[in-house]
Amino acid sequence: MNPVAEEVFMTSPGSADGVVAIGVKRQFDSVFALRGVDFTARYGEVTGLVGPNGAGKTTLLLILATLLLPDEGTVRIAGHDPVTETGAVRAMSGWVPDAFGVYDNLTTREYLRFAGLAYGLGKRSPARAEELLVLSRLQDFADRPVHVLSRGQKQRLGFVRSLVHGPRVLLLDEPAAGLDPYSRVELRDLLRQLASVGAAVVVSSHVLADLEQMADRVVFVDRGVTVGERRIDDLARASGPRVWRLRALNESELVAALDRNHYPHTAPTPGGVDVELLSDEAAAGLIAGLVRDGVHVVSCAPLTTSLEATYLALTGDQG
Amino acid sequence: MSGVLTVARLELTVRVRAGRWRWLLAAWFVILVGFTTLLRLAVSHAHNLQGNVGTVMYGGLQLFLLALALLVMPALTAQSVNGDRERGTLGVLQVTRLSAFDIAGGKLLAAWGTACIFLLASAPLVAWSMVEKGVPAIRVVIVTLVVALLLGVICAISLGLSALLARGTTSSVLSYLSVFALTLGTLIVFGLATAATTQTRVVHFSTGDPSAPAGCCSSEETVARTDLTWWILAPNPFVVLADAAPVVVERPPICRSFRTRGSIRTFCTPQPQSGVDPLGDISRSVRSLRSPPGLQSNIARSGGGEDLVWPYGLGFDVLLGGFMFGVATRRLRTPRRTLPRGVRLA
Ligand SMILES: Nc1ncnc2c1ncn2[C@@H]1O[C@H](COP(=O)(O)OP(=O)(O)OP(=O)(O)O)[C@@H](O)[C@H]1O
Ligand SMILES: [Mg+2]
Question: What are B301-312's pLDDT values in tens digits?
Answer: 444 445 899 999
Inform me whether the pLDDT recorded for B31 exceeds 90: yes
Atom 4 of ligand 1, residue of closest alpha carbon:
A28
Pairing relation of β-strands A169-173 and A297-302?
unpaired
What is the model's pLDDT at position A168? 95
Between CA B166 and CA B175 the distance in angstroms is 14
What is the model's pLDDT at position A176? 86
Q: Where are the beta strands (DSSP E) in chain A?
A: 17-28, 31-42, 46-50, 72-77, 93-96, 169-173, 200-204, 217-222, 225-231, 242-248, 273-277, 297-302
User: Backbone phi, then psi, for B111, in 5-degree steps?
Assistant: -65, -40
Q: Any idea where the domains of chain A sit in the sequence? A: 5-236, 239-315
What is the model's pLDDT at position B251? 58
Whether A80 and B55 have beta carbons less than 8 Å apart is answered as no
What is the model's pLDDT at position A227? 94
Q: Where are the beta strands (DSSP E) in chain B?
A: 199-204, 218-223, 254-260, 263-269
Inform me whether the pLDDT recorded for A132 exceeds 60: yes
Angle at B198 between CA B192 and CA B203, to 5 degrees: 165
Question: Where is pLDDT greater, at A18 or A99?
Answer: A18
What is the model's pLDDT at position B101? 97
Inform me whether the pLDDT recorded for B214 exceeds 70: no
Whether B32 and B123 have beta carbons less than 8 Å apart is answered as no
CATH architecture of A239-315: 2-Layer Sandwich (3.30)
Mean pLDDT is lowest, of A69-73, B180-184, B248-252, for B248-252
**Average pLDDT of chain B, as a whole number:** 86
**In the CATH hierarchy, which fold is given to the domain comprising A5-236?**
Rossmann fold (3.40.50)
What is the model's pLDDT at position B298? 43
Burial of B259: CB neighbours in 10 Å, binned 0-12, 13-18, 19+: exposed
Atom 24 of ligand 1, residue of closest alpha carbon:
A53
A91, A97, A161: residue with CB nearest B91: A97
**Average pLDDT of chain A, as a whole number:** 88
What is the model's pLDDT at position B217? 74
Which amino acid appears at position A226 of this protein? T
Q: Which residues from B are below 8 Å from A110, CB to CB? A: 13
Between CA A123 and CA B248 the distance in angstroms is 51
Give per-residue pLDDT as tens, A237-274.
666 777 888 999 888 889 999 998 888 888 888 888 99
Provide the pLDDT confidence category of residue A180 given band limits of 50, 70 and 90.
confident
Q: Give the rounded percent of residues in chain A with a pLDDT score beyond 70.
A: 93
What is the model's pLDDT at position A114? 95
Inform me whether the pLDDT recorded for B269 exceeds 50: yes
What is the model's pLDDT at position B306? 59
Which residues make beta-bridge pairs with A200?
A: A169
Inform me whether the pLDDT recorded for A220 exceeds 60: yes
Task: Give residues with Cβ within 8 angstroms of B274, minimum separation 6.
Answer: B281
Which residues make beta-bridge pairs with A302?
A: A244
Largest CA distance in chain A: 76
- A→B contacts (Cβ < 8 Å), by residue, are 28-29, 58, 62-63, 65-69, 82-83, 86-87, 90-91, 93, 95, 97-106, 110, 114-115, 117-120, 122, 158, 161, 165, 173
- Is residue A207 lining ligand 1, measured as CB closer than 6 Å? no
Provide the pLDDT confidence category of residue B327 given band limits of 50, 70 and 90.
very high
Provide the pLDDT confidence category of residue B192 given band limits of 50, 70 and 90.
very high
Burial of A141: CB neighbours in 10 Å, binned 0-12, 13-18, 19+: buried
Q: Any idea where the domains of chain B sit in the sequence? A: 2-191+311-331, 197-301
Q: Which residues from B are below 8 Å from A67, CB to CB? A: 91, 94-95, 334-336, 345-346
Q: How close is the nearest chain A Cα to the Cα of B249, in Å? A: 50
What is the model's pLDDT at position A139? 92
Give per-residue pLDDT as tens, A279-290.
888 888 899 999
Average pLDDT over residues A189-210: 92
Buried b / exposed e along B271-294 (16+ C-beta atoms within 10 A) = ebbeebbbbbbbbbbbbbbbbeee
User: Backbone phi, then psi, for B204, in 5-degree steps?
Assistant: -95, 140
Grouping H, G, I as helix, E, B as strand and the rest as coil, residue A33 is strand
Question: Where is pLDDT greater, at B259 or A184?
Answer: A184
Question: Where is pLDDT greater, at B331 or B292?
Answer: B331
Inform me whether the pLDDT recorded for B90 exceeds 80: yes
What is the model's pLDDT at position A6? 43
Q: How close is the nearest chain B Cα to the Cα of A44, in Å? A: 23
Inform me whether the pLDDT recorded for A96 exceeds 90: yes
CA A83 – ligand 1 centroid, Å:
21
Task: Give residues with Cβ within 8 angstroms of A258, minimum separation 6.
Answer: A246, A265, A273, A275
- Nearest ligand for residue A33 CA: 1
Whether B201 and B221 have beta carbons less than 8 Å apart is answered as yes
Mean pLDDT is lowest, of B31-35, B247-251, B339-343, for B247-251
- Is residue A205 lining ligand 1, measured as CB closer than 6 Å? no
List Cα–Cα distances, A298 to A155, A274, A287, B71, in angstroms: 38, 14, 10, 74
Q: Mutate which of A53, A98, A103, A123 to test chain B, going by most B C-beta atoms within 10 A?
A: A103
Average pLDDT over residues A81-89: 94
Cβ separation A86–B346 shorter than 8 A: no
Q: What is the ipTM of this complex?
A: 0.82
CA A189 – ligand 1 centroid, Å:
29
What is the model's pLDDT at position B276? 74
What is the model's pLDDT at position A105? 85
Average pLDDT over residues A142-146: 93
What is the model's pLDDT at position B322? 98
Give per-residue pLDDT as tens, B198-210.
888 777 776 666 7
Which amino acid appears at position A73 of this protein? G
Question: Where is pLDDT greater, at A1 or A25?
Answer: A25
Cβ separation B10–A69 shorter than 8 A: no
B18, B84, B335: residue with CB nearest A105: B18
Q: Give the rounded percent of residues in chain B with a pLDDT score beyond 90.
A: 53
Whether A18 and A168 have beta carbons less than 8 Å apart is answered as yes
Pairing relation of β-strands B263-269 and A72-77?
unpaired
What is the model's pLDDT at position B176? 96
Provide the pLDDT confidence category of residue A7 given band limits of 50, 70 and 90.
very low
